[in-house]
């Protein structure tokens, strides 16, 4: 088949989606990536054909400028900036995708959940599409807290009321995107979408979350599948590292991702919190453009970009922004976490880390050396965190998230029928494994 991928150029989305794409290439399919121009140079998309979107609005270098601004923001300011940019991206999707897909000769489409407007384009063109949740699954239901909150899960009337109020706020935040999409749907003779839950594929929705890395769900569609992480050795960018500087002490690895990582005081607080511990701190800034800070407490090893999987294999603790990829990679290595969620789905990831008992979290805007030190000492001092992380490492090792996801994609696109959860063990021709 010729399969298209529609995905943001953000590393946290493009990296796992490309892992799934490479698996489809290995199975003999042709894959074309539709994304903003800054996605093209990423080494992990080299096996795909590339079609740029929004070259005028988002020329090469736009992602670096976006990351520079986003990296300095926190809380509501970060959300507002992200939504403004998101609206512009959706405008580009709805303008550029229809003519490109009409002439592409595609047999089907994989759509990142945050680019759900592409499902409307596929619907208009009668092109089968599968939704892929590369971030935290955004599907809403009143029993589960909104993804952008760090609220704990409770099965109670009070918690459901709290969640409903949270979803009202979220609806207001994403309202401009839903309205923009609906205006185009009306032009195309399609029914209006009611919100996030109305925008997913009716054939299959796939998340790289294992089922245990979520709160209890009751209202997911029958075609929704928890598969497991989309990670392999080609998921990241090549990075050198001064391995000779590691001195044999227990390793604490700290990373704030590639977007919200431009606040020096965050790294200063992490360094101060770890100074004096019987551990060696490694800080990855998540950017090759940012100047390396000097004079940090405890003399940590600081690099712009790090070989994360290799460091996780040696780590005893991870300090993270609670991006879904870092959280799942940490669990895949059996490493407990202290999370510093900033925005987007990171609070929801941090809440699940605590819910599983594999770590603690301190909201980034409240993170100072004292609070971080207390959280780090709590996790390091209680072996239960490590034991539970090792248990989830075992469970992840039993999964083949990428392979299972590829099976579902092949079945859905070839048959154009919904792939139900009970049918997830089928292969592309619809037969049993």
Tally of CA atoms within 13 A in the half-sphere of 418 that contains its CB: 12
Q: Which residue in the block uniquely carries the two structure tokens 């460091």?
A: 311
Which contiguous run of DSSP H or E holds residue 11?
Answer: helix 11-26
> What φ, ψ does residue 314 adopt, rounded to 5°?
-110, -10
The burial class, CB within 10 Å (0-12 / 13-18 / 19+), for 237 is middle
**What pLDDT is stored for residue 84 in this prediction?**
84
Q: Rounded to an integer, what distance in angstroms lies between the CA atom of residue 426 and that of residue 407?
A: 7
Instruction: Report whether 344 contacts 156 (CB < 8 A).
Output: no
Domains located in the chain, CATH noted = 2-228+399-423 (3.40.50.2000), 243-396 (3.40.50.2000)
Cβ atoms of 117 and 90 closer than 8 Å: yes
Tokens of 215: 């709160």
Which run of H or of E encompasses 49?
A: strand 49-52
DSSP state at residue 212: T
Residue 199 pLDDT: 72
Sign, Cα dihedral of 308, 314, 319, 325? positive
Do 39 and 7 touch, CB atoms closer than 8 A?
Answer: yes
Distance CA 228, CA 213 (A): 9
Which CB contacts under 8 angstroms, 24+ apart, belong to 271-274? 271/296, 271/297, 271/298, 271/300, 272/296, 272/297, 272/298, 272/369, 272/372, 272/373, 273/369, 273/370, 273/372, 273/373, 273/376, 274/298, 274/300, 274/373, 274/376
- Distance set, CA 60 to CA 9, 82, 134, 183, 313 (Å): 11, 19, 23, 29, 34
pLDDT of residue 65: 80
Cα separation, 316 vs 337, in Å, equals 9
Measured CA to CA, the distance from residue 341 to residue 359 in angstroms comes to 13
Look up residue 113 and give its two tokens: 């959940």
What are phi and psi for residue 59, nearest 5 degrees? Answer: -65, 165
CA distance linking residue 273 with residue 262, whole number of Å: 19
Whole-angstrom distance, CA of residue 304 vs CA of residue 286:
6
Question: What number of other Cβ atoms are within 10 A of residue 158's Cβ?
Answer: 8
Overall residue count recorded for the chain in this entry: 433
Predicted TM-score (pTM) of this structure: 0.91
Q: How far is CA 428 from its chain centroid?
A: 26
| Exposure on the CB side of residue 328, measured as CA atoms within 13 A | 26
For residue 54, is it left (φ>0), alpha (ψ between -120 and 50) or beta?
left
pLDDT along the chain (433 residues), means of 10: 95 94 97 96 93 93 77 68 86 96 95 94 96 94 94 96 94 89 94 79 96 95 95 75 96 82 79 96 82 86 92 97 95 97 91 98 92 97 98 97 97 97 54 31
Helices (H) and strands (E) in the chain, counts: 12, 13
pLDDT of residue 430: 37
Q: Are 22 and 129 in contact (CB under 8 A)?
A: no
Instruction: Indicate the burial class of 160 (C-beta count within 10 angstroms; 0-12, 13-18, 19 or more).
Output: middle
CA distance 383 to 104: 54
351 in Cβ contact with 151 (< 8 Å): yes
The H or E element containing residue 178 is helix 157-187
């Amino acid at each position: 088949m010729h399969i298209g991928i529609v995905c943001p150029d953000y590393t946290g989305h493009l990296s796992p989606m490309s892992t799934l794409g490479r698996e489809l290439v290995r199975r003999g399919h042709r894959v074309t990536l539709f994304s903003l121009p800054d996605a093209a140079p990423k080494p992990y998309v080299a096996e795909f054909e590339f079609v740029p979107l929004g070259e005028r609005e988002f020329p090469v270098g736009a992602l670096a400028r976006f990351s520079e601004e986003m990296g300095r923001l926190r809380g509501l300011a970060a959300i507002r900036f992200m939504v403004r940019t998101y609206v512009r991206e959706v405008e580009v999707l709805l303008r550029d995708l229809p003519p490109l897909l009409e002439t592409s000769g595609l047999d089907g489409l994989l759509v990142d959940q945050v680019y759900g407007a592409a499902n409307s384009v596929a619907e208009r063109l009668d092109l089968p599409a599968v939704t892929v949740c590369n971030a935290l699954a955004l599907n809403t239901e009143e029993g589960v807290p909104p993804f952008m909150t760090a609220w704990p899960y409770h099965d109670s009337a009070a918690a459901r009321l709290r969640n409903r109020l949270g979803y009202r706020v979220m609806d207001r935040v994403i309202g401009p995107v839903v309205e923009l999409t609906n205006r185009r749907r009306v032009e195309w003779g399609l029914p209006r979408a009611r919100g996030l839950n109305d925008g997913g594929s009716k054939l299959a929705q796939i998340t790289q979350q294992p089922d245990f890395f979520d709160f209890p769900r009751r209202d997911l569609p029958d075609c929704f599948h928890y598969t497991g992480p989309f990670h392999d050795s080609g998921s990241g960018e090549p990075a050198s590292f001064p391995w000779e500087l590691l001195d044999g002490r227990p390793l604490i690895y700290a990373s704030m991702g590639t977007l919200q990582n431009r606040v020096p005081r965050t790294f200063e607080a992490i360094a101060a919190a770890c100074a004096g511990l019987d551990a060696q701190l490694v800080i990855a800034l998540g950017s090759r453009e940012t100047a390396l800070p000097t004079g940090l407490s405890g003399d940590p090893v600081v690099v712009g970009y790090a070989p994360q999987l290799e460091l996780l294999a040696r780590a005893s603790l991870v300090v993270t922004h609670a991006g879904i990829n870092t959280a799942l990679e940490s669990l895949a290595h059996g490493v407990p976490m202290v999370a510093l969620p900033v925005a987007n789905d990171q609070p929801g990831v941090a809440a699940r880390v605590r819910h599983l008992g594999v770590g603690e979290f301190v909201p980034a805007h409240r993170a100072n050396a004292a609070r971080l030190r207390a959280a780090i000492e709590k996790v390091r001092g209680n072996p239960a965190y490590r034991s539970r992380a090792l248990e989830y490492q075992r469970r992840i090792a039993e999964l083949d998230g990428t392979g299972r996801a590829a099976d579902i994609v092949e079945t859905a696109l070839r048959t154009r029928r919904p792939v139900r959860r009970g049918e997830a063990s089928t292969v592309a021709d619809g037969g049993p494994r």
